[in-house]
Amino acid sequence: MATIQSAFQQLLLPSAVIFLFLGSVFAIVVGAGLILRGDATLRLFGKLNRWVSTQKALKTVDQQHDIEQTMHRRRRLFGAVFLALAALSFIVLVAKYDVTVLSSVFARRFPPIAVELAVVSLKWTLVAGDLLAIVVGAALILSPDVLAKVEARTNRWYSTRTDADDAALMHLTLDKWAAEHARAAGWIVIVLAAFVALNLGIVLIGPR
């Protein structure tokens, strides 16, 4: 843990500060471009802009992959695998899951009561999952028809396209406002970026 924290402080944190400082300097240049040559700057960003549709990116995720027919064709095999793995996991959890040891690992950085509660909750959540897997495995072997009826009632398909329609639309309100008020947008960008650059500059050149 100490090694990770030291690496974060010596490498990752300074790199992030430098990256953000350079980004703020670039923002100042962009703001100056909006003030001095607004039309040219807007044309440049118009050429650089690219729209990535979430519908295309999520198309593969949105397709249904039905594995139930495969499971029911080989129900005895899958049932035996479910039973074996769930039973093994259940035995390991009951016999080897030490709440005290796991709590002591995180108790130094978090409140002990909260850590113990989280560790105990995790244990019993996993135990409940194992018991459910054992029931499903037994049902695949002994009562596949009953399991199929339960699946038919509980299965629901949620389409990402329905929930992501708004995310797939282009919202150009801010861009239009910046195009109509290039100088004002430039000054806003410069002031905010200069504030960030000043503070990050102090961090970079300050005492270490």
**Extents of the domains making up the chain:** 13-41, 74-156
The C-alpha angle with vertex 48 and arms to 42 and 51, in degrees rounded to 5, equals 110
Contact 147, 140 (CB under 8 A): yes
Q: Is 205 exposed, middle or buried (0-12, 13-18, 19+ CB in 10 A)?
A: exposed
Contact 147, 139 (CB under 8 A): yes
Query: Tens of pLDDT along 64-93?
Result: 666 667 766 777 888 888 889 999 999 988
Write out the H or E segment, with its range, that includes residue 13: helix 13-36
Position 162 scores a pLDDT of 59
Position 1 scores a pLDDT of 47
If pLDDT is split at 50, 70 and 90, which confidence band does 163 have? Answer: low
Give whichever of 2-6, 51-55, 170-174 has the largest mean pLDDT: 170-174
Tell me if the pTM is above 0.85: no
Q: Has residue 182 got a pLDDT over 60?
A: yes
The average pLDDT across 140-168 equals 70
Q: Has residue 58 got a pLDDT over 70?
A: no
The average pLDDT across 133-152 equals 80
Average pLDDT taken over every residue of the chain? 79
Q: Has residue 14 got a pLDDT over 70?
A: yes
